[in-house]
Amino acid sequence: MLKGKVALVTGSTSGIGLAMARALAAKGADIMLNGFGDEGEIEAIRAGIADEFGIGAAYNAADMSSGEECAGLVRAARAELGDCDILVNNAGIQHTAPIEEFPVERWEAIIAINLSQSFHTIRAALPGMYEKGWGRIVNIASVHGRVASVNKAAYVAAKHGLVGLTKVVALEAAGRGVTCNAICPGWVLTPLIQAQVDLRATEKGLTQEEAKADLLAEKQPSKQFATTEQVGGLAAFLCSPAADQITGQELGIDGGWTAQ
């Protein structure tokens, strides 16, 4: 389905980003990986995806907190694999604290990575998509792009902003073969959420299993984590012809969180 297409997935060395890279590779897209981690492990991921799915895969270590490096990543994908047909803005970080104690440096880093990243990559990638008359932009927002929780000022502000940016890009690109949507997951058990499970276990004196159940019970009616593969499946669907007219949407995978 995506043979001959180039997909750039930011923050794809771990968690949801890696699952989306795998889901798009499984449909035949060549993949530009990005993110931090151990050099040897990243090379094993890159070579493994290329080998398993018979596609081209490259890696670039650009830091998504820098606008310059975001644009540079789009250029690197073009140089190594070709113009970017599918752009998945996924790299993200979290920090939790009450606003009066929220470190200013964490606020700025979260806004840069979780929001401004997408402005810079989309700005760099859209002209190539317009030229081809086809493109898919998938922004990984969050349930926190739709509703708020305490102690997440920067994350909630960034993700709400990302949903807004998604809608603007969808309108500007409408009728030009380019769609732009936001995926809004609830709890997905990745290293990012494991840190919140660990914190809860320590603060409340719970076992890991109890802390996970406690976290889910508070917000996610299904009481089950969504899986990275399910998010990857939705990203792949958004790149299929069935999704040609789906644009400007905030698509939840949240076990009913936002239905409450």
User: Applying CB under 6 A, which residues contact ligand NAD?
Assistant: 10-17, 34-37, 63-65, 90-93, 113-114, 140, 142, 185, 187-188, 190-193
C-beta of 10 vs 249, nearer to ligand NAD: 10
From the CB of 246, what's the least distance to ligand NAD, in Å? Answer: 19
**CB of residue 184 to ligand NAD, shortest distance in Å:** 7
Give the integer Cα–Cα distance in Å for 230 and 23: 9
The three-class DSSP label of residue 245 is coil
Number of neighbours of residue 7 by Cβ within 10 angstroms: 32
> Catalytic one among 53, 59, 107, 155?
155
In the bound state with ligand NAD, the residue whose beta carbon lies nearer, of 139 and 247, is 139
Q: Which is nearer to ligand NAD, 36 or 229 (CB)?
A: 36
CB of 151 to ligand NAD, least distance (A): 15
The three-state secondary structure class of 28 is coil
Q: 158 vs 178, which CB is nearer to ligand NAD?
A: 158
Q: How far is the CB of 91 from ligand NAD (least distance, A)?
A: 4
Concerning whether 130 is annotated as a catalytic residue, the answer is: no
CA pair distance 197, 250, nearest whole angstrom = 26
Contact 73, 118 (CB under 8 A): no
Query: What DSSP string describes 198-238?
Result: HHHHHHHT--HHHHHHHHHHHH-TT-SPBPHHHHHHHHHHH
The catalytic site residues sit at 155
